[in-house]
């Protein structure tokens, strides 16, 4: 936050839209991290009779809100950049270079804090944004040098548009992934047909139906399924084996199995799951 205040102040004083745009993006990242942090704290609360899954799904909505905030920031940057392209203004090249160089170290160092645990959508998005910020700061440094050498003040809004494009590319992926999880879709890293095949591979299982996989949160996945068997002996052992297998192979931590006695059910497709 201290760097954001300094970056915005120097950006305004030097009339550098690139610095102001980067400061705005950094501010939206901080807001997103605060939201994600609050969601993480809520997600650690115990389940209740009213919320039997607890608050795990809050992290999904935090990622979705983060994506929306970034899109708003991109729109504002683009509007201001287009206006500046019509009326280019001189910028303080040296100031832009120095502040952006500091930004490279701050954003790059912050990105390193999120290197681990990227299986969580919030952590992954934080890493992507911070790494992108560091790259954007490199672009601002280059623009500052070029402005000093050429006097082409129009480079500043052009760099701002590039910054907006970089943010937009990352935000589209975050928005898509968070929306998919919020709407109950199967997480991208899991293939339902592969999971079904894994369940059916057990010799005790004749068929599988009513297979559902969804995200409880950005790092918790749930599965429910009905297994058909001719013989119910060894049910407890089979269910424990499946629980361990789902966690080890697919990262599914909340597995609920219903065992039924019945004949072979035809293989299910996407149209009749």
Q: From first to last of the 273 residues of the chain, give the pLDDT tens digit.
A: 888 888 888 878 877 766 777 777 678 778 777 887 887 787 777 777 887 777 778 878 887 887 887 788 778 778 877 877 877 666 666 777 888 888 888 888 888 888 776 667 777 777 777 777 777 777 778 777 887 887 777 777 787 788 778 778 878 888 888 888 888 888 888 899 999 999 988 888 888 888 999 988 877 899 999 998 887 788 888 889 999 999 999 889 899 999 888 655 455 445 445
269 in a structural domain: no
Say yes or no: 24 and 101 in one domain.
yes
Q: Which of 159, 182, 205 is the last residue of a domain?
A: 182
pLDDT of residue 272: 45
CB distance 85 to 157 below 8 Å: yes
Q: Which of 126, 153, 182 is the last residue of a domain?
A: 182
CB distance 140 to 25 below 8 Å: no
pLDDT of residue 212: 92
Say yes or no: 10 and 104 in one domain.
yes
If DSSP codes are grouped into helix, strand and coil, which group holds residue 15?
coil
Say yes or no: 40 and 143 in one domain.
yes
Say yes or no: 60 and 88 in one domain.
yes
Find the CATH number of the domain harbouring 234.
3.30.70.1350
pLDDT of residue 271: 45
85 in a structural domain: yes
How far apart are the C-alpha atoms of 194 and 191, rounded to whole Å?
5
201 in a structural domain: yes
Say yes or no: 162 and 117 in one domain.
yes
66 in a structural domain: yes
pLDDT of residue 93: 65
pLDDT of residue 89: 63
CB distance 268 to 196 below 8 Å: yes
Say yes or no: 91 and 158 in one domain.
yes
List, edge to edge, every strand of the sheet that includes 254-261: 207-215, 221-229, 254-261
pLDDT of 214-237, one tens digit each?
988 877 899 999 998 887 788 888
11 in a structural domain: yes
Q: Which of 130, 162, 182 is the last residue of a domain?
A: 182
Would you say the C-alpha torsion 53, 37, 121, 198 has a positive or negative sign? Answer: negative
273 in a structural domain: no
pLDDT of residue 255: 92
Query: How many domains does one find in the chain?
Result: 2
CA distances from 82 to 90, 100, 144, 168, 176 (A): 16, 22, 19, 16, 27
Say yes or no: 34 and 62 in one domain.
yes
Say yes or no: 168 and 212 in one domain.
no
How far apart are the C-alpha atoms of 213 and 222, rounded to whole Å?
6
Say yes or no: 175 and 196 in one domain.
no
Q: Which domain holds residue 253?
A: 192-261
Backbone Cα Rg of the chain: 25
Say yes or no: 249 and 120 in one domain.
no
Between β-strands 207-215 and 254-261, what pairing exists: parallel, antiparallel or unpaired?
unpaired
């Amino acid at each position: 936050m201290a760097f954001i205040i300094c970056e915005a102040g120097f950006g305004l004083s030097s009339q550098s839209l690139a610095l102001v745009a980067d400061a705005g993006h950094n501010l939206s990242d901080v807001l997103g991290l605060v939201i994600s942090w609050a969601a993480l704290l809520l997600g650690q609360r115990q389940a209740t009779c009213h919320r039997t899954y607890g608050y795990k799904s809050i992290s999904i909505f935090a990622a979705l809100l983060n994506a929306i905030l970034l899109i708003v920031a991109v729109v504002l940057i683009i509007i201001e950049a287009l206006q500046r392209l019509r009326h280019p203004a001189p910028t303080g090249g040296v100031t832009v270079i120095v502040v952006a160089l500091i930004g490279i170290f701050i954003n790059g160092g912050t990105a390193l804090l999120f290197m681990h645990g990227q299986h969580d959508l919030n952590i992954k998005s934080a890493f992507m944004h911070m790494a992108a910020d560091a790259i954007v700061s490199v672009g601002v440094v280059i623009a500052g040098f070029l402005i000093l050498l050429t006097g082409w003040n129009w480079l500043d809004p052009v760099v701002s548009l590039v910054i907006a494009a970089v943010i937009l590319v990352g935000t589209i992926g975050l928005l898509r992934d968070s929306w998919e999880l919020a709407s109950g879709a199967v997480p991208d890293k899991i293939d339902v047909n592969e999971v079904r095949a894994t369940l059916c591979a057990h010799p005790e299982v004749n068929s599988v139906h009513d297979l559902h996989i969804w995200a409880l949160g950005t790092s918790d996945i749930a599965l429910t399924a009905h297994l058909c068997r001719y013989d119910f002996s060894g049910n407890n052992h089979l269910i424990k084996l499946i629980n361990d297998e789902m966690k080890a192979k697919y990262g599914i931590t909340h597995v609920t199995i219903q065992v039924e006695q019945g004949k072979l059910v035809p293989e299910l497709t996407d149209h009749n799951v």
